[in-house]
A and B are shown apart, each in its own frame.
Chain A
Amino acid sequence: MSVIIRADSLRKKYGDFVAVDGISFAIEEGECFGFLGPNGAGKTTTVRMIHCVSPKSGGTLTVLGSEAHVDNRAVKQRTGVIPQEITLDNDLTVRENLQVHAHFFAIPGAEARRRILELLRFVELEKRRDSKISDLSTGMKRRLLIARALLNQPRLIIADEPTTGLDPQARHLIWQRLRQLKGQGATLVLTTQYMEEAQQLCDRIVIMHQGRILKAGAPSRLIEEEIGREVAEVRAAPERDAALLPRLAPLARGHERVGDTLYFYCDDGRPLLKAMLELDLPDTVHRPASLEDVFLKLTGRSLIE
């Protein structure tokens, strides 16, 4: 597979604030690549540099074979952007939104009409084609944003937190559509704060924090490496650590205390569970390890503001 996006020591500064602090990554054609991170990690800034609406401050960034910069119309012509914010044109109807956009990509009239019908069907909005934007639900608006991003039949699709604020049904519909697009050969670059979304969609992810990449890899491999297969949570006041840890910690791969909870990471939880039963702890949870554990372990479990 060929590399479609390559960043090397990519940096972005806003005044004195460093939003992206020298990150390097390579995204291959046809994969779904996810940027995970808490608010302010630099995910959106990074994808904005990729789709050429924000200039980089340092390093190199090659997209679709050319250097990314704000006047690179060639990259924009072949990229579809599903933005984080709903940037639909409220003065226009559903169909007019797509028509206007088609002109920006210089898609000929007949071809544009054909694609618009097809895309409205794809996102299940064909019955709403003459609706005003204000009459659509948030889920419909998000779907329309997807249709709009696909008008130019992009090789590269950027989805910046595409399911923020959606109910589960709408979220699953969008996930299905994004998987479908990947199946058709598009390269997908996704930013998200939802671990489930990353696990559902991404072949590879990077976890970003404060402008840096902390870890990169396939979601399942990251879980395996960082956490193990299982997690046991014990709610107990910190004063009890002295009594609990000598007994339990040796049975786990690692442990962590956050607030009122002790987290134990392990590959086989049975010895640990047995010990917990013997200690007769009142408030415990035993569950499979998830990407969320990796994320929280790496970025810290305390609140990030």
Chain B
Amino acid sequence: MTFSRRIVWVFWRNLVSYKRFVLTTFLASLIQPLFYLITFGIGMGAYVGYFGGKPYLYFLVPGVLTTSVMMSATFECLYGTFVKIVHEKLYDSLIATPVSAEDAVAGDIAWGAFRGLVSGGLMMVVAIFMGILPVSLLSVLLLVLLMVFVGVLFGSLAMIVTAFAPNFDFFNYYSELVITPMLFFSGVFFPLDKFPGWMKALAQFMPLTHAVAIARAIFNGDYGRGLIFNFLVILALEIAAFLAGVRLMKRRLIK
């Protein structure tokens, strides 16, 4: 594999094009998480009351925030990248320059992570306006780092799917069979401890579970020892997914 600093310029290309539709993406990436916050947070929160000594929203916000990072990074690296390969032929012109296939894919994963960060960041701003604040300024900083980290993870996973996708419909399998279950079984909306044992075990195989656990700990300044395990799981998966995503995409691009 050959990477170079041209990754930055692939990212920059995306940034230049982004300015034309930045506002629409703000709306799109805010609406769904906002619904979760309102329906679950305020509607259900009224019944649930307190969770571990804090209002339910403190439990929910870091979960929804992480979810919106996952969604944005995923969809950018599924649909966004697919359009660039198949419809716009952008990758063809990229790899005819000194930009390698690896640079191009890594640049797009970085871009997916950035889109995730924007979505998650917007959620954080909304939460702050609702009066739900991260415990400290350090928490805010750590959450930003975490969002980038989680964005790279889900962007890379999505790249693996894109590397095999013959058309848009193919993405439905991934979003319905992987992303949606993850949304409901990763402890975003409620804790996992009341689940039966096998479901708890299953949840451990979902990267979102670990990401949400870390986000929640940072948001509330409530660090436990299990977090190192959560972090290592994501880190290992992230490295593997990144390398696999780049390699598989290269196989698709170079024929």
Give A residues with C-beta under 8 Å from B: 14, 51, 53-55, 70-71, 73, 76-77, 79, 81, 83, 85-92, 96, 99-101, 103-106, 148, 152
Contact = CB atoms under 8 A, between A and B. Distances in A.
Contacts of A73: 2, 4, 98, 100
Nearest to B95: A53
Given A71-B2, A76-B96, A103-B9, A87 B90 contact: yes
B247 interface: no
Q: Select the residue from B90, B94, B96 with max chain A CB neighbours within 10 A.
A: B96
A53 B254 contact: yes
A91 B25 CA distance: 15
A89 B254 contact: no
Interface in B7-35: 9, 12-13, 16-17, 20
A101 B13 CA distance: 9
Given A85-B92, A87-B89, A104-B6, A76 B13 contact: no
B254 A92 contact: no
Contact of B255 (A54, A85, A96, A104): A54
B94 A104 contact: yes
Contact of A89 (B13, B95, B99, B101): B13
B90 A89 contact: yes
Contacts of A53: 92, 95-96, 254
Nearest to B254: A70
Interface in B73-88: 88
Nearest to A78: B98
10 contacts: A73-B2, A85-B92, A89-B88, A90-B88, A91-B16, A103-B6, A103-B9, A104-B94, A104-B97, A104-B99
A255 B94 CA distance: 49
Contacts of A83: 92-93, 96
Enumerate the 8 nearest inter-chain pairs by beta-carbon distance, A residue then B residue, closest first: A91-B17, A104-B97, A87-B93, A103-B9, A87-B89, A73-B98, A81-B96, A100-B13
A51 B26 CA distance: 40
A259 to B, nearest CB: 37
Contacts of B100: 70-71, 73
Interface string B241-255: 000000000000011
Contacts of A70: 95, 100-101, 254
A103 B17 contact: no
A91 B90 CA distance: 11
A215 to B, nearest CB: 28
Given A53-B254, A90-B88, A101 B97 contact: yes
Contacts of A85: 89, 92
Contacts of A14: 255
Contacts of B254: 53-55, 70
Nearest to A79: B96
A54 B2 CA distance: 16
Interface string B223-253: 0000000000000000000000000000000
A89 B17 contact: yes
B6 A91 contact: no
A71 B90 CA distance: 18
Q: Select the residue from B4, B16, B98, B254 with max chain A CB neighbours within 10 A.
A: B98
B97 A87 contact: no
Nearest to B90: A89
Given A54-B254, A54-B255, 20 more contacts: A53-B96, A70-B95, A71-B2, A71-B100, A73-B100, A77-B98, A83-B96, A86-B89, A87-B90, A89-B13, A89-B88, A89-B93, A91-B16, A92-B17, A100-B9, A100-B12, A101-B97, A105-B97, A105-B98, A148-B93
Interface in B121-149: none
Contacts of A81: 93, 96
Contacts of A106: 6, 98
A93 B218 CA distance: 42
B96 A51 contact: yes
Q: Select the residue from B90, B97, B254 with max chain A CB neighbours within 10 A.
A: B97
Contacts of B88: 87, 89-90
A152 B100 CA distance: 16
Contacts of B12: 100, 103
Given A55-B254, A87-B92, A89-B88, A100 B16 contact: yes
